[in-house]
Amino acid sequence: MTQVMRRVSDLKDLARKYYLEVVLSPHECPDCGGHLQMVGQSQSACPFGHVLDPTLSFQRSPCCSVELVRKTFHYACSRCNQIVPSRFLFDERIFNKAYFREMMQESRSRDKKRREELRKFFAESRSNTLTFLEEPDIGSIPGLAEDLNAFVGTEMVGTKEFCYKTAFSMTQYREHVLSMIGLGGRLFSTISPMSEDSRKDKAWRFITLLFMEQDREVTLTQYGQDLLVERFDHEAYA
């Protein structure tokens, strides 16, 4: 097992090097035109020793197309302050685990109330197959409509369009999510849909994820406009 983990981490190192080379390759040192190499976390340097942070030098915010600013643990749009994931960091995590743990704890307590309401809402929450026979009132769960809208990318998830009449197997979604995230993690938006109705599919995936987080199978972290889904790190929380 340890050997397997070591091979996975070796592969990850190789992938990281390769990735960083690729994202840096279109850029050159603004001072001398030299070839840039990553020399540290968020630091690159040319052969003449000009050091720069490639995220600040080369990346613009997708929201306002302006320069980014570096905050303590992440980058943000210099105009509207939205968090912007750096292209020049290989891992989805921004800078450090401790920060994420803190953020997760915060969001966990914030979400706890919402999840409890959601749980109450689904009378048969513990059964393997959830079948929704009635149209739920999404508006009765604080924040859920907004969250679903943000992830689903539609203007309004109204109760009328949002119909649960089709049976929904949480077990299947759960297995699908676990197989998609593998040993590491994956962005919510890149988990392939299981149903042809993409809007419903996203909402169901999201609801499944809330339950999976509650059951400590995954951790969810907001990542810009997306959601980072990771296998729950039992060691980190032991």
Residues near Zn ion (CB under 5 A) are 29, 31-32, 34, 46, 48, 50, 61, 63-64, 77, 79-80
Based on CB atoms, which residue is closest to Zn ion, 55 or 61?
61
- Least distance from C-beta 102 to Zn ion, angstroms? 24
What's the Cα-to-Cα distance from 103 to each of 59, 99, 121, rounded to whole Å?
A: 24, 6, 27
- DSSP category for residue 82: -
Minimum distance from residue 162 beta carbon to Zn ion (Å): 30
Rounded Cα distance between 32 and 38, Å, is 16
- By beta-carbon proximity to Zn ion, the closer residue of 50 and 199 is 50
In the bound state with Zn ion, the residue whose beta carbon lies nearer, of 82 and 154, is 82
Distance (Å) of CA 22 to CA 11, 18, 133? 16, 6, 50
Smallest distance from Zn ion to CB 54, Å: 13
Q: Over the range 44-59, which residues count as b (16 or more CB within 10 Å of their CB) and which as e? A: bbbeeeeebbbbbebb
CB nearer Zn ion, residue 50 or residue 115: 50
Give least dist CB 118 to Zn ion, A: 31
8-state DSSP, 215: T
